[in-house]
Structure formats: C-alpha cells, structure tokens
Structure 1
Amino acid sequence: MTKVYNNDTYVGASFSLSNRLMRVLWSLVYALLFKYSPRPFHAYRAAILRCFGAKVGKGVHVYPGVKIWAPWNLDLKDECGIASGAELYSQGMITIGYRAIVSQGSYVCTGTHDYTKVGHPLYTLPIVISARAWVAADCFIHPGVTIGEGAVIGARSVVTKDMPAWMVCAGHPCKPLKERVMVNEPMEQLAN
C-alpha cells in the first residue's frame, strides 16, 4: 500500500505538489504529443512513456487512446498490448506482463479511499496482469488484484480479487469458470 500523503481529503490534496506538477506536465505532453499520434507509432509512444519514468519493454503496443494517470507507475513487459479506450488509473504501480492484453474500455484502478476513516484518505494497491493474460473489453480491475498467468477475464467483468492462472473467468463479481486450453496450430494451417 502506498503511503498516505494526506489523511483528510476533504481539506487537502491526496498527492504531493511535485506529483501534481508532474501530472500537469504529463497531461500537456499527453494532449499534444501522445493522444493524437498515428496508431502505428508504438515505439514513439513508448519513448514518451519512458521519458516520464515508465518501464517499457520491447514490442509494446500502447495505442494513442489509452488514458494514463501517471506513467512513472507503469511496468509494461515485452510485447504487451493496451487498446485505445483502456484507462490505466496508475495512482499506484501497474505491471502488465509479457504478451498480456488489456482491451478497449477496461479500467485498471489502483486507487481507492478508506471509507472507515473520517478523512476518507486515498490509498493505493498495486495491480499485476501477468504474462499472456487477457483482460477483455470493458472490465474493471480493482486495486490490489493479480490476474494470473494466461488467465482470460471475460468482457464487462468486475474483478475484486485475484484470478488464477490459465483459467477463463467472468462475471460481477468475476469468478473462474473453466480452464483455458491453448492450441498450437502450425503456421501453414493458419495461412489457409
């Protein structure tokens, strides 16, 4: 859990002045250089994210319509993909594994508030979307969740707890439904 900057969000900011100034700078760069960049310019957008402290692997596909709260809280492993319309609410750390996919409209949310305290302080918990996992369209991923390796999260699911590896999961709340079985077809069969 991230250290709380302010215990009373009714009277003060949840983040430091330096954090807020960096987000202002990021918002300007996002609006001017990132958001309207051509779709195939993945390496260009990866370079911008790296300038803002993101760890970005090789062959990462972050599309121009992805909304990112704080790039410095991203760890994007090789060949992962994040579709336009996805939102990475990275108040805390988000890790997206090798060849993992986050589809359009999905909301990956690391921040929440402690409703048991008078000041309603914000706190964050990291999210991990493991290698080869697929978060389908319009899912909500709750703070502190780990999506297991190879798991598939069905469209419009609400994930409030960890999901196991190599399972197809769906629902509100999301639950494991069946094993994910991968079929390796020879490339010449795929071409026909």
Structure 2
Amino acid sequence: MSTTQKFTKIDLLTARNSLNGPSFSFKNRVGRLIWWLVCLLFFRYTPKNFHVWRRAILRLFGAQIGRKCHIYPKARIWAPWNLKMEDESSIADGSIIYSQDLIHIGFRTIISQGVHICAGTHDHRYRGFPLITKPIYIGDWVWIAAEAFIHPGVSIGDGCVIGARSVVTKNMPKWMVCSGFPCEPLKPRIFLD
C-alpha cells in the first residue's frame, strides 16, 4: 500500500493542516503580537529585582500570578493568559514557558534556568501535521533543575525534583527525585531540616 493510500478521506478532512495555515485564531495571534511588543519594551530589559512590575504586566495579559512570585526578565512566556502560578514560585532567566495550553505551577515551585515547559506538539500521523495541545500541571514544592524538558500533558507531583537536563515524557510521582532521558523516579526526596 502506498503512503497516500494509508490516509482515509476522513483523516484528510478532519486533520487541520498546520503546514498551510495558522494553528491559532487571529485573535490569539494578535494577542501574542501585542504581548511580544510589550514584553520587549517593558519586561525583558527590566532590572532583575523588578518582580512586582513583571507580575503586574503578566496579570494585564491574563496570567494568574500568585503573591511573591519571582519571574525573571529573560524568561520567555509564549501566552501569559495560559499561565497560572501559585504563591512564591519562580521562573528563572532562560526558561521557555511554551504555554499553548494551560501551564499550572504550584506553590513554592522553582523553574530553573533553561527549563523548557512545552504544552504543544504536532500529530505526525497526518500529513497536515495538526497541532495538539495538552495542559501541564506542576505541583507544590517542586524543583525543576536546569535545562529539563517537560512534555505536553505531563503532571509532576508535589515535592518532586526533576534533575538537570532530564526529559519528562510521563507523569512523575510525589516527593521523589527523578532524572534521566526519559526521566524516571530514582529515590524519595527527604528534607534534612
């Protein structure tokens, strides 16, 4: 059977063709353009300790940001209206919050430098390569270490530690230290104080 015969007529009609057109609405694209301009002018080059200012700007764009959150100026947030952060959490410089769907970050959770949290992908089974988005939930007291990658639809349990440069493709349990490619639970997380 040839490649073209493997796809049914229904597959071709229902699969949105993201190669020939945008995957998001005109309103979404205009919102992201305005966000990008505001981010460039009033967010990205602010002093590191201007957390109150950056929280206010994100809230203007629909982000749900808790008290005392630290969002650093070089963090890249794709769509603030799909970001929810609980109190006292932080997003470090160089992190990419690719919020094509909801990304929820719990209480006192740390997103370290260079972490990539990606809520969107494409369905490779269709020639149109349609966009798929899935929300990501990151619990309370989580630490995601430098340059880790979090896949769409993943949940990370409370107290979990994700090791540096790990690739998280599935849900991670509560209060475990997890690491690797693919990321796996290694041992319980225990506080010494």
Matched residues, number = 179
TM-score w.r.t. length of structure 2: 0.91
Q: Which residue of 1 aligns with 2:3?
A: none
| Structure 1 counterpart SS, 2:35 | helix
Query: Partners of 1:136 and 1:72 in 2: how far apart?
Result: 25
Are 2:63 and 1:54 equivalent residues in the alignment?
Answer: yes
Q: Which residue of 2 aligns with 1:154?
A: 163
Paired amino acid for 2:32: R
What is the deviation of 1:118?
Answer: 2.2
Paired amino acid for 2:177: V
| Structure 2 counterpart SS, 1:112 | strand
Query: Partners of 1:151 and 1:11 in 2: how far apart?
Result: 40
Specify which of 6, 14, 30 is matched with residue 23 of structure 2: 14
What is the deviation of 1:183?
Answer: 2.1
Query: Partners of 1:125 and 1:159 in 2: how far apart?
Result: 14
Query: Partners of 1:104 and 1:178 in 2: how far apart?
Result: 23
Q: Which residue of 1 aligns with 2:98?
A: 89
Larger Rg: 2
Are 2:79 and 1:76 equivalent residues in the alignment?
Answer: no
TM-score w.r.t. length of structure 1: 0.92
| Structure 1 counterpart SS, 2:97 | strand
Instruction: Describe how 1:98-113 pairs up with structure 2 within 5 A.
Output: 98-113=107-122
Structure 1 runs (4+) greater than 4 angstroms displaced: none
Q: Which residue of 2 aligns with 1:66?
A: 75
| Structure 2 counterpart SS, 1:91 | coil
What is the deviation of 1:10?
Answer: 1.5
Paired amino acid for 1:118: R
What is the deviation of 1:117?
Answer: 1.6
